[in-house]
Structure 1
Amino acid sequence: MRKPKVVILTTNYGNGHLQVARALEECFLHKNQANVVVRDIYQETNPRLHEWTKKLYLKSYTKSGRQLYRLFYYSSQEITKSRPLKIFSYGYSQLMRIIQQEQPDIIINTFPSIAVQHFLMKANSAVRTYNVVTDYCLHHSWIHPSIDKYYVATQELKSHLIANNIKQNQIVVTGIPVQAQFYQSFCRQTLEHKYQLKPNCKTILIVAGAYGVTKEIKYICDDLKKDKTLQILIVCGKNNQLYEEMQLKFKHETRVRVFGYINQLAELFELADCVMTKPGGIILSEAVVKNVPIILTGATPGQESENAEFFQSKRAAILYEKWDLLVEQIYKLLYSETTLSEMKKALTKLHVPNAADTIVNDVLKTYYWQGSQNSMVKG
């Protein structure tokens, strides 16, 4: 039987959806049982409009933009519940071009694309379609009766889908896919030498990323570096302005390491006693896989706030918005072995191993099983 063609549809709002797509692509390529391509449907539909909407998304990280994003997130939640999705067909024409170009047997969504749902409503298509939910909460735009299967992070999300009339056998609790590097084993001594860190010192990883952890990150680091036994790793991602500012500010600090975009983030997780970050679905999943206690800040209304609430409810993270209280809690966490141990146990309970592998195996198994059934019918 020929290899299936798999199209993974994504977009780069917040980068998490794209990271999940790349983790799945990586797994497909490793297995070499499918031809796979990743396409950003909204970037391809209208690059200028896409960049404009990305800027609007960035506004959600400002004080004035938070309430606007809250309004958008929860109003769109209600709209997708109550109105036919055919009126929201943005991206449909480009999707049709992608389907004509790629001739996929399988479509995997790592972003709730309304264009795909519109396509499924209009076309009597044999293309099997899967949704990989990329948060620990569920926006209703993920839900559509024509989706063949859903892959979700938790039993709670499975129950939510069942309550919305999705059949139990259409839902698999897999966790959220992360790159294979997060499952690698590392020699801590080698990494300490590589990053010029002192052994036996507490280490905090701050993942700011393209959108920043918080505007007060400089003050937080100033306060943290007063502790002479603490090492700080700051990842600025593609936020070049933040990277340059932090490099200049801490260029003479031997206990502070500043990084831009880094390909081997798993190595820094290996060194960290805790991680401070925003509650995006992917960074939370990476912390779960590496079993690193989490301190959350700067949660925007919507999926980030709901992610944070879920992790807090499971005692797997702590959330503080005020930076002075945040620093106090960081110290309490880092220097309490009991609290660190309890949080690690909570993270272990949330861990569903090898999400990407489970999803890819399930997708391929279904494809080849259907192919064999069709061959039997024809024979």
Structure 2
Amino acid sequence: MQTLILSCNTGAGHNSCAQAVQEAYHSRGEICNITDSLQFISEKASTFISNWHTRIYRHAPRLFDAGYQRAESHEDIFCEGTPIYKLLSSGAERMYQYIRSAGYDNIICTHVFPALALTEMCRQHPCLQLVTSHISTDYTCAPCTADSALDWYFIPSTSLLGEFEQCGLQPQKLIASGIPVRQQFYQRVSQEAGKANAGISPAHQHILMMCGSMGCGPMEEIISYLCPYLTTEQELSVVCGTNDDLRKKLQKRTEKYSQVHVLGTVNNVPQLMQASDLFLTKPGGLSTSEAMAAELPMVLIDAVAGCETHNLNFFLRNGMAVTANTPKAIADTTIKTLNAPVLLSKMRAAMRSQTECTAADKIYEWIYSHAK
């Protein structure tokens, strides 16, 4: 099979998921490429949609949440014939030409936007023989997923099968695979070795703080409460991602705390997780899945809401995380959890029970064994 993964640049999670699946295919010597699905509308449209998604997500989380809730309660806005559907499917013919010319016969979507476009393409070209699938990258059924018509839908957990069925997806098309993350997150090293590799004293407790690739949420406020709590034997690494303004502000705010390390964009997140005792993060679908694979307990920050509230509830419900409602309470909870070894052990055990095999491998094996 020749595989094409259709992703989009609305947040790093969809691309991270795509890379994890690509890794599984490449490890077996298979052809597997990733492309930005929004480019089939136009390059300008892709840039515009992605940039505005980042701006709203980072600077106006309440607006993002309101938009998501409206989409949940008015899913017909994505139905065939609506303006949004027409926009998202307007690149269907260009997508067809791209897929046909390259000889792809296995198409995987890591976002609902390409799933809708792929559905329209298949309607326009019913003779094209393809295996088509969609991977959910959040612990919920995203609005309008059921408006697509693909062969398979890979979902995060068996406990969510009922929700996806209620949204209108056929149960025989649902496969509980988990959310794919790269193999590095499953690698195990001793915590002492992990800390030494990351430049953290093996004798120290280490908190890793991230709020997505965009560095969003009340990170400044939380850090202002958290830093005074830190002892000389506790360290905090803060990853700001692409938010360079935040990085500069935090470096200035924390300059008197030698045990605080403020970072920008990094390429060693798996290693940082291996070096950590606790993960302070917003509940993005990929970041929480990566932490689960790494068996790293979490304190979750409900920074953006929308689909991430569903993620938060999933991890709370399954005993893999804790949370609080205000920046000060988040800081308090972080320190209490860090100093609660029994609770940390229970969280790690809960994560271990959810990761029997890697999601990317399961997806590969399912598609390969059920190919037309």
Q: Percent identity?
A: 22
C-alpha displacement of 1:13 = 0.9
Q: 2:5·2:35 contact (CA, 8 Å) conserved in 1? A: yes
> Which letter maps to 1:102?
A
* 2:235 is aligned with 1:231: yes
- Name 2:104's counterpart in structure 1: 104
Code of the aligned partner of 1:159: G
Q: Residue 81 and residue 350 in structure 1: after superposition, are their counterparts in 2 closer, same or farther (change >3 A)?
A: farther
Retained in 2: the 8 A contact 1:7–1:102?
Answer: no
In structure 1, how many angstroms separate the alpha carbons of the residues matched to 2:167 and 2:11?
27
Residue 104 of structure 2 corresponds to residue 71 of structure 1 = no
Q: Distance in 1 between matches of 2:99 and 2:305?
A: 35
CA distance in 1, matches of 2:314, 2:10: 22
Which of 33, 47, 66 lines up with 1:37 in the alignment? 33
Tell me how far 1:187 sits from its aligned partner. 4.3
**Counterpart in 1 of 2:171?**
168
- Match of 2:96, SS state, is helix
Q: Which runs of 4+ in 1 moved over 6 A?
A: none
Instruction: Say which is worse superposed, 207-216 or 126-135, in terms of deviation.
Output: 207-216
Summarize the Cα distance change of 1:272–1:305 in structure 2 as closer, same or farther, 3 Å threshold: same
2:187 equivalent among 146, 164, 184? 184
Mean alpha-carbon deviation: is it higher for 214-223 or for 181-190? 214-223
CA distances 1:212-238 after superposition (whole Å, capped 9, x unpaired): 242343651563354222111111222
Q: Secondary structure at the match of 1:8?
A: strand
**Match of 1:287, SS?**
helix
Report deviation, 1:315. Answer: 2.7
Answer whether contact 1:5 1:103 (CA < 8 A) is retained: yes
**Residues 50 and 321 (structure 1 numbering): CA distance in 2 closer, same or farther, change over 3 Å?**
farther
- The answer to whether the 8 A contact 1:134-1:282 is kept is yes
Go from structure 1 to structure 2 and tell me whether the alpha carbon gap of 1:122 and 1:342 turns closer, same or farther (over 3 Å shift).
same
For 2:122, which of 91, 96, 120 is the aligned residue?
Answer: 120
Aligned to 1:374: none
Q: Which amino acid aligns with 2:206?
A: T
Output the aligned Cα RMSD.
2.4
Amino acid at match of 1:18: N
2:226 & 2:182 partners in 1: Cα distance? 33
Runs of at least 5 residues in structure 1 that lack an aligned partner in the other structure: 371-379
Match of 1:331, SS state, is: helix
Residue 305 of structure 2 corresponds to which residue in structure 1? 301
Deviates more, 1:82-91 or 1:267-276: 82-91
Residue 200 of structure 2 corresponds to: 197
Quote how far apart the aligned CAs of 1:73 are. Answer: 1.8
Asked if 1 retains the 8 angstrom alpha-carbon contact of 2:154 and 2:175, the reply is yes
What's 1:51 paired with? 47
Q: CA deviation at 1:78?
A: 4.3
Q: Distance in 1 between matches of 2:124 and 2:93?
A: 12
SS in 2 for 1:130: strand
TM-score by length of 1: 0.87
Quote the Cα distance in structure 2 between the aligned partners of 1:241 and 1:186: 34
Q: Decide whether aligned partners of structure 1 residues 165 and 298 sit closer, same or farther in structure 2, where only a CA change above 3 A counts.
A: closer
Structure 2 matches for 1:303-322, cutoff 5 A? Answer: 303-322=307-326
User: Is residue 137 of structure 1 aligned with residue 140 of structure 2?
Assistant: yes
With over 3 angstroms needed to count, the CA separation of the structure-2 counterparts of 1:49 and 1:320, relative to structure 1, is farther
Q: Specify whether residues 190 and 257 from structure 1 end up closer, same or farther in structure 2 by C-alpha distance, changes over 3 A only.
A: same
Pair 1:83–1:200, CA change in 2 (3 A): closer
Give aligned pairs, total: 363
Q: 2:343 maps to which residue? A: 339
Contact 2:79 2:147 (C-alpha < 8 Å) held by counterparts: no
Counterpart of 1:373 in structure 2 is: none
Contact 2:218 2:327 in 1 (8 A): no
Give the counterpart letter for 1:351 in structure 2.
T
Bigger shift: residues 203-212 or 253-262: 253-262
Matched, 1:13 2:10: yes
Amino acid in structure 2 at the alignment position of 1:161: F
1:186–1:267 contact (8 Å) kept in structure 2: no
Structure 2: runs of 5 or more not aligned: none
C-alpha spacing 1:252/1:93, structure 2 compared with 1 (3 Å): farther
